[in-house]
Structure 1
């Protein structure tokens, strides 16, 4: 069993200093040409610098099965710096209207169900894109072309919404550089757009950014015991709930994300306990503006096989062939999700519980 002992005591992180201690930086050759690149290198003067041709072609990380041996070490100690050259805003219809070009990808956390590790390497540590001015310029022009949003919808009644955290966790990125801060400030001044991201990490630095109600932060929530098993290196659930009022007071629109919803014996009672805690902690103003999405677990065969080498305990609840069916992704990945009839029942049960216990929380979608 590979370094399974490293997992003990590292399931949840409360302090950013424990989450990231950068010792190695892989970087593209021209990284010094960018102010953000120079800032980050200056922040980690003792880190070993390793030049690579491009951020997504690193042999010892990209597609290297042996990297599973150092899964958590890479998450904590490795950083990648590159430039984002292909800029596009992908249409979306769920929690945002557009998925913005990434200011980063990869994550310091290591949730065992996460799809991101399949994209680059195994542990997939954080990659920061240092040409943030180019990314911001693209977004400002893109939002300008959309004009005023005239028709309210389930995403937002007034603004075009841009997702900036699809491939990582922006709260962790904040500890490395000001990319997220710069984007929050940009959107605070755009007349027709706001940004959004989901997070599993409480970074109180975000409370100082003055988003002026133009950033929607979605705190990912699930029952405590399940989170302790599968949300590796994240902030504990109670700590996430505890700061939601503060973030709303600091000028954020505060939402939740119930994802992924994992089925196990006693699952619904655990959700009831979570909703009880929300009712007791959230103030009335936070409740009035609360909305959520509900996303049931989708897992992946390749990720399952990798997880068996570093966190097999989690796979006992994530990989359930007896109640799951195969669903191939658009890229041909063999994914699994709960069987149709079972999933319909589970979705309805959780929706009914939401209606009963947190009726103030609107639901954008559930699947």
Structure 2
């Protein structure tokens, strides 16, 4: 997998390796201890109304990791047993071996989706958008909570009409059961000058839409690094417009957060 915009390669030396942990037992014990210290969740928030949510795959795609390691299966089994906690990971890879696990609602899979034109250009060596949409109902039936990760939203010609078509398609293809439990997150593109330079060497066509200095500005992240994001005024209008698109074309879908 080599998505042209992904922040994981920026953190891993412009590579996107599979992540395997040799200390999985220690990790599981640390999760259990942390949950014990947290106690019951006092009030709902944008992550979840009742459970503390632990992101398993911030720096990797767990569906891919599960191809070569039992780490993900071990964690799915752990969160199936834990009260008050839920695992979560976003994915662009459909690994149907995960359907054989028994998550019992304790793991949230967030399938990343975007218009097909964007995916063809930017989502390199990932499962197709069709494969991801087809998998949603199967994962719900297997006991996963399934959310939608609309990320990244790339502001380019016809972006609004293409997202509207995708939202319409989801309404037509997903079962009522899947739609009833679905939530989504909306994340506009964040880019990086270093990744921009790397892309110019191997995939310059992607930079035609990712690198737009006239609409972007440099920001410091909470970790102190410099990234490139849409200007505040551009982003504010785009987020508002995306919320309108969801309200009109997918009124069944609640937005957990959009930024």
Question: Does TM-score exceed 0.5, indicating one fold?
Answer: yes
Q: Is the 8 A contact 1:197 1:218 kept in 2?
A: yes
Give the corresponding residue for 1:290: 182
Give the corresponding residue for 1:234: 126
User: Where is the helix percentage greater, Structure 1 or Structure 2?
Assistant: 2
Asked whether 1:186 is paired with 2:78, we answer yes
Q: State the superposition RMSD in angstroms.
A: 1.1
Q: Is the 8 A contact 1:329 1:335 kept in 2?
A: yes
* Largest Rg, 1 or 2: 1
Gaps of 5+ in 2: none
Give the corresponding residue for 1:366: 258
**What's the CA shift string for 1:122-165, capped at 9, x where partnerless?**
22322311111111111111112211223222221221111101
Asked whether 1:316 is paired with 2:235, we answer no
Q: Is the 8 A contact 1:300 1:333 kept in 2?
A: no
1:90-101 matches, cutoff 5 A: none
Give the corresponding residue for 2:109: 217
Following the alignment from structure 1 to structure 2, what is the Cα–Cα distance between the partners of residues 267 and 127? 33
Asked whether 1:341 is paired with 2:233, we answer yes
How far apart are 1:196 and its partner, in Å?
0.5
1:169-208 matches, cutoff 5 A: 169-208=61-100
How far apart are 1:330 and its partner, in Å?
4.1
Following the alignment from structure 2 to structure 1, what is the Cα–Cα distance between the partners of residues 150 and 118? 12
**What's the CA shift string for 1:304-355, capped at 9, x where partnerless?**
0011111111011001111111212345433211122121111111110100
Following the alignment from structure 1 to structure 2, what is the Cα–Cα distance between the partners of residues 256 and 162? 17
Match of 2:213, SS? coil
Give the corresponding residue for 2:47: 155
Following the alignment from structure 1 to structure 2, what is the Cα–Cα distance between the partners of residues 364 and 130? 34
Q: Is the 8 A contact 1:194 1:216 kept in 2?
A: yes
Following the alignment from structure 1 to structure 2, what is the Cα–Cα distance between the partners of residues 319 and 334? 15
Q: TM-score with structure 2 length normalisation? A: 0.97
Match of 2:148, SS? strand
Following the alignment from structure 1 to structure 2, what is the Cα–Cα distance between the partners of residues 324 and 174? 36
Following the alignment from structure 1 to structure 2, what is the Cα–Cα distance between the partners of residues 332 and 143? 28
1:99-110 matches, cutoff 5 A: 109-110=1-2
How many pairs were matched up?
259
Q: Is the 8 A contact 2:216 2:231 kept in 1?
A: yes
Following the alignment from structure 1 to structure 2, what is the Cα–Cα distance between the partners of residues 221 and 148? 32
Following the alignment from structure 2 to structure 1, what is the Cα–Cα distance between the partners of residues 233 and 34? 41
